[in-house]
């Protein structure tokens, strides 16, 4: 059974315009970037609907997002993955090392993507069998609370006792479902595989070679029944999980996960500018950076990567790269890799007016988050419009004076502004209203803007 939430089909796939509208709920501005990723996502659905003889030939148009930190590059990719329900993994290019050196090689991101896809599909399958698993767990608990008649008794005695047990069982079932027996302690049997302890030495781990040692040993090692004393409530959870695992066909899960990775997978490569070699420098760390680029090339071009679940073809995985490119330029990447990212989108730096929108408009706006947190203490937090303007202007000025970290500046500006309120909230008492005015913002944040040395410590 396929999950409606995660499968892109003709009835529910969003159009590019609808995708942009969804992204607008969380990300302010950057319309060019939103359009590019929306088209890329829609093209994946178009490829699956294309004639079969052309389907394999239609390659994704990979994207490079260029712009300073904190303008929404990562958030666009993350929200896009949530919209599509596709397997999505974010990696940092600077963390990879060239093959032959100690560290993670670039193929590990495909293994991570596959692991994530298997977890996604498995969660869906668990949700599908949850009702049946809960019923089976309930029967096991009832068997413990009301044991079946012993075989040594006569047939008539067993029949008579069975009727009594059946009636008692239904009464007990009603109590179980009502939760009146949740605190009662019982002893249950849970299955655990006894895996031998072993240590793997060497520069390359088994995970890097795509070998699942736990599964290999799990098939050999005997399953052991372990007695555990626990409450009925916890027993229900443990036994439901155990029954769910028995009902799931892991071969089917793996097959579906591999299909999703190959057809719908999205890899977001952050800080790709950090592996670009500066012009004219081809020694020291630049050689290693170029080596990572060359290792990355076949994966982005399309190749097969060995994972513990099987071979994964990367031909149709969508790669979205991003970087600030303050020092290096996209042209400093090796030409072959540049060609594999045909779409380049420049994201705009954020102005004070953008900060005002970021603080108030998105569904997960920062001001709404702080209001919700203080509401848990019974305190109402109100921001006057001119106070919001002042917060935005302060964040913009600090970005101009020190390092421009975009919208991330708002987090620390707000933390500094609300620090005393957040600290004293539990003692303030429920029913209190805190009003943030322009004067309060100026009083608490003016020293940060005026003192450039101090502002360096306030991120």
Highest averaged pLDDT of the listed ranges 139-143, 150-154, 275-279, 312-316: 312-316
Q: What average pLDDT does range 143-168 have in this prediction?
A: 64
Domains along the chain with CATH numbers: 16-116+263-346 (3.40.50.300), 131-255 (no CATH), 352-454 (1.10.8.60)
Question: Residue 269 belongs to what H/E stretch?
Answer: strand 266-270
Tens-digit pLDDT profile for residues 173-197: 887 888 887 788 887 877 765 444 4
State the chain's mean pLDDT as an integer.
81
Candidates 139, 121, 134; CA nearest to 85 is 121
> What's the pLDDT at 4?
41
Count Cβ atoms below 10 Å from residue 178 Cβ, excluding itself: 9
Contact by Cβ (8 Å): 120, 114: no
Is the pLDDT at 48 greater than 90? The verdict is: no
> What's the pLDDT at 84?
81
Q: Exposed (0-12), middle (13-18) or buried (19+): which is 230, by Cβ within 10 Å?
A: middle
Q: What average pLDDT does range 64-92 have in this prediction?
A: 86
Is the pLDDT at 273 greater than 50? The verdict is: yes
Q: How far apart are CA 331 and CA 353, in angstroms?
A: 32
Is the pLDDT at 315 greater than 90? The verdict is: yes
Q: How far apart are CA 52 and CA 399, in angstroms?
A: 52
Candidates 265, 336, 236, 288; CA nearest to 112 is 265
Share of the chain above pLDDT 70, in %: 80
79/277: higher pLDDT: 79
> What's the pLDDT at 363?
87
């Amino acid at each position: 059974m396929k999950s409606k939430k995660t499968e892109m089909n003709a009835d529910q796939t969003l159009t590019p315009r609808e995708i942009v509208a969804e992204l607008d709920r969380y990300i302010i501005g950057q319309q060019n970037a939103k359009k590019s990723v929306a088209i890329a996502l829609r093209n994946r659905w178009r490829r699956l609907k294309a004639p079969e003889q052309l389907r394999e030939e239609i390659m994704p148009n990979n994207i490079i997002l260029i712009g300073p930190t904190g303008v929404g590059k990562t958030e666009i990719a993350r929200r896009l993955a949530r919209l599509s329900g596709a397997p999505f993994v974010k990696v940092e290019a600077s963390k990879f090392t060239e093959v032959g050196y100690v560290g993670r090689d670039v193929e590990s991101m495909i293994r991570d993507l596959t692991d994530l896809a298997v977890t996604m599909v498995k969660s869906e399958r668990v949700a599908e069998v949850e009702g049946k698993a809960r019923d089976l767990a309930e029967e096991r608990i009832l068997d413990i609370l009301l044991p079946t008649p012993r075989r040594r008794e006569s047939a008539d005695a067993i029949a008579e006792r069975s009727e009594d047990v059946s009636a008692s069982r239904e009464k007990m079932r009603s109590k179980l479902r009502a939760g009146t027996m949740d605190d009662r302690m019982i002893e249950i049997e849970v299955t655990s595989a006894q895996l031998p302890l072993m240590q793997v030495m060497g520069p390359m781990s088994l995970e890097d070679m795509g070998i699942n040692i736990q599964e290999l040993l799990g098939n050999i090692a005997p399953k052991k029944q372990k007695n555990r004393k626990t409450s009925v409530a916890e027993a229900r959870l443990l036994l439901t999980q155990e029954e769910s695992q028995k009902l799931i066909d892991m071969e089917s899960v793996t097959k579906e996960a591999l299909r999703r990775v190959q057809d719908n997978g999205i890899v977001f490569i952050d800080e790709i500018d950090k592996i670009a070699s500066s012009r004219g420098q081809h020694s020291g760390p630049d050689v290693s950076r170029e080596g990572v680029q060359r290792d990355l090339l076949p994966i982005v071009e399309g190749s097969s990567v060995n994972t513990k679940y099987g071979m994964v073809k990367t031909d149709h995985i969508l790669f979205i790269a991003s970087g600030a490119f303050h020092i290096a330029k996209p042209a400093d990447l090796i030409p072959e890799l540049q060609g594999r990212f045909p779409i380049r989108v420049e994201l705009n730096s954020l102005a004070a007016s953008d900060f005002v929108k970021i603080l108030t408009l998105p569904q997960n706006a920062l001001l709404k988050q702080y209001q919700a947190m203080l509401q848990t203490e019974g305190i109402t937090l109100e921001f006057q419009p001119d106070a919001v303007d002042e917060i935005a202007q302060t964040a913009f000025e600090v970005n101009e004076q020190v390092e421009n970290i975009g919208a991330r500046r708002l987090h620390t500006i707000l933390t500094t502004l609300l620090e005393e309120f957040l600290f004293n909230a539990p003692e303030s008492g429920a029913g209190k209203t805190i009003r943030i005015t322009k004067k309060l913002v100026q009083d608490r944040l003016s020293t940060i803007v005026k003192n450039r040395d101090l502002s360096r410590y306030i991120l």
